[in-house]
Amino acid sequence: MGYVTLTDVTKKFGEVIAVNKLNLKLNKGECFSMLGPSGCGKTTTLRMIAGFEDLDEGEISVGDKLISSKSKGYYLPPEKRDFGMVFQAFAIWPHMSVYENVAFPLRLKRLPAGEIEKRANEALAHTNLLNDAKKSPVDLSGGGKQRVALARALAINPGVLLLDEPLSSLDPHLREEMRFEIKDLQRKYGFTVIYVTHDQAEAMALSDRILVMKLGVVQQIDTPLKVYNEPANRFVFSFIGLSNFIAAQKTADGIKAGESGNLRFSRMPDESFNGKDSLVLASRPSEIDFVSEGGVPGTVKRKVFLGEVVDYAIDVQGTEIRVQKGRRDAGINAGETCHLSFLHPHWYPAEE
């Protein structure tokens, strides 16, 4: 049995189905990310778990406690769910000190003064804010403000911490730093994290499991490694990491790309593709090699040095293929012809 359980959860806005019969079981102490493009339903799902949106169908429970059920007419208000929440906007109060921002939710719960002080100081210590407790949050950096929001959520000792794009307003260096701090806090406190993001790197770095959504429908739920290496469909492949797609045809002589160019692969389509002659080959830029002969012929349109890698744009019969090789690997130059070998191809039906 899952710790946080969603059963046939559906949410509609007029005629639009934002979330369609979502079934999900999260384990206690798990860091779970919901990933997908804007409008896919991930934030709506988080808001239903938090209690900011009611369900149109289905149920949500935490442990053995029901918190939302449309059929049973039951809805537990957000303030009674004891969830910590960190928003995309920091949502901190500038007229209060850092300490008072963290202590305020505890005062609303009418906890004893000693308990408030203990919890607030512990949360500040865990987020490295004790020395800033008396400051105004407006005097802190973006990362400091985000730590205040985290400390405020941690102070209530939540069983579940909900994070909605919490790092999107930070610069890249701070985002990388904060994602590891969030993971460290999750390990220290042992709470369940439900994290909404469109940033794949954040989801990969933080998550035990990832849910990928499209138009309110689950596409895949799996570990970061499996989502990346074994995408369930073409959409997941295209959304996670850099991707290439090239049309291919099964013929009596093998598999060809476009009008010519025999393809040589270490892994061919399996039996599920029998009878399907029009295919799409999907491949990561890092899983394509330049070879001296054979493979797919192409022309180098662009060669760009990106630090640790060199990024190539290869024209293959009108289709642009990206290839990335290590900066020390010998490579060809723009304007030259080349042949490509696809090391770990994935196959999808052309009509998917």
**259 pLDDT more than 60:** no
Q: 194, 34 in Cβ contact below 8 A? A: yes
Are 201 and 254 contained in the same domain? Answer: no
Residue 34's pLDDT is: 95
Are 253 and 230 contained in the same domain? Answer: no
Are 219 and 298 contained in the same domain? Answer: no
Summarize pLDDT for 10-68 with one digit per residue, the tens.
Answer: 999 999 999 999 999 999 999 999 999 988 999 999 999 999 999 999 999 999 999 99
Are 57 and 182 contained in the same domain? Answer: yes
In angstroms, the CA 158 to CA 168 distance is 23
Q: What is the CATH number of the domain that holds 318?
A: 2.40.50.140
Q: 88, 165 in Cβ contact below 8 A? A: yes
Residues 261-290 have a mean pLDDT of 75
Token code pair at residue 64: 């053995």
CA-wise closest residue to 168 among 148, 186, 195: 195
Residue 280's pLDDT is: 86
Confidence of residue 193 (pLDDT cuts 50, 70, 90): very high
Q: What is the pTM of this model?
A: 0.84
DSSP at 85: E
**Average pLDDT score over the chain:** 87
Residues 201-210 have a mean pLDDT of 90
**322 pLDDT more than 70:** yes
Domain boundary among 237, 272, 287: 237
Are 216 and 306 contained in the same domain? Answer: no
DSSP at 154: H
Residue 91's pLDDT is: 77
Say how many domains are in the chain.
Answer: 2
**271 pLDDT more than 70:** no
Are 120 and 266 contained in the same domain? Answer: no
The fraction of the chain above a pLDDT of 90, given in percent, is 46
Are 162 and 291 contained in the same domain? Answer: no
Residues 285-311 have a mean pLDDT of 89
**Residue 40 sits in which domain range?**
4-237
Are 189 and 116 contained in the same domain? Answer: yes
The fraction of the chain above a pLDDT of 70, given in percent, is 92
